[in-house]
Chain A
Amino acid sequence: MKQITQQLKLPAELDNLDRVIGFLETKLEQCDCPMKVVTQICVSVEEIFVNIANYAYPDHMGECLLELTLAGEDDAYNKMVLCIHDSGKQFDPLKKEDPDITLSAEERQIGGLGIWMVKQSMDQVEYRYENEKNILTLTKTW
C-alpha cells in the first residue's frame, strides 16, 4: 500500500479555475490515472470549485483548500480521495434536488446539472460541516 497527499490552497475566484484543473491534471497524470478518469475528476471539481467561487463568500474574499490523496498497491495507483474545503457559508450541495434528465429540451431548466454530474462520475461524494468549514469529499477508483 502506498499513498501520497498533496494540497493546493488558493483564493476562491473563477480566475483560479485553470490552476485548480492544472494541479489535478498534473498530479493525476503523474500517477498514471487513465485520461478518462482524469477528465471525470476535473469536470466534477470544476463544478464544485465554481460553486464555491460564485456563492460561498458573498461579501468577502475567501479561500479554497484542495487536499488530494492518491493511493495504490505496489506498482500502481488506483484510488483518489479529494477533500475540498471552504470556510464560506454553510452549504450542502448534495441536498440539491436531482434534475429530471428525461425532460425535452423545451422543458429543461437551465441549471442543476453540475452536482448531478459530480454524483454520477464519482464513486462516492460526502459532505460534512466541521469547525465552520464545508468539506466535500470525492472518492474515485479506477
Chain B
Amino acid sequence: MNINVKSEGNKKWIELDGRLDTTAAPQLGEVIEKELQEPVKELVIDMEKCAYVASSGLRVILQAQKSINRVQGSMVVKNVNETVMEVFEMTGFSDILTIE
C-alpha cells in the first residue's frame, strides 16, 4: 500500500492507496503514530483509493481514533466506497467513526 501524507498547520491528510490488509496495517499504524507525535487537531483519512479493509486495518483505524480523542482532536474518514462501508457497518465502526 502507498500512504501519502499532507500537512497544513495542525491538520493532516492521510491518503491510502491500495489494500489495507494484514501486511499493510502495521505500515499505516507506524505512519499514523509518527504523524501524531506532532500536535494534530484534525486528521483526515482519505480512502478513495482503498477498496479493501481487513480486521487488522480496522484495528489501526480504531487506534488512530483513540489517539486523536486523547488529544481532543477530530478524525474524519473520507471517500469510503460501498464495500468498505459495509465492513464499517457490520463491525459497528460506522457508529464510532466520522465518515463523510
Interface residues of A, Cβ cutoff 8 Å to B: 14, 17-18, 21, 35-36, 39-40, 42-43, 46-47, 50, 99, 101-106, 108, 110-111, 113-114, 116-117, 120-121
How many pairs, one residue from A and one from B, have CB atoms within 8 Å of each other in the complex?
A: 66
Q: Are A121 and B90 in contact (CB under 8 A)?
A: yes
Q: What A residues does B91 contact at CB under 8 A?
A: 99, 101, 113, 116-117, 120
With A36-B82, A46-B21, A120-B90 known to touch, is A108 a contact of B54 (CB < 8 Å)?
no
Segment 79-100 of B: residues with Cβ below 8 Å from A: 82-83, 86-87, 90-92, 95-96
Of the four ranges (under 10, 10 to 19, 20 to 34, 35 or more), the interface on chain B belongs to 20 to 34
Chain B contact residues: over half helix, strand or loop, or mixed? helix
Chain A contact residues: over half helix, strand or loop, or mixed? helix
Q: State A42–B59 Cα separation when bound (angstroms).
A: 18
Interface residues of B, Cβ cutoff 8 Å to A: 21-23, 51-56, 58-59, 62-63, 65-66, 69, 82-83, 86-87, 90-92, 95-96
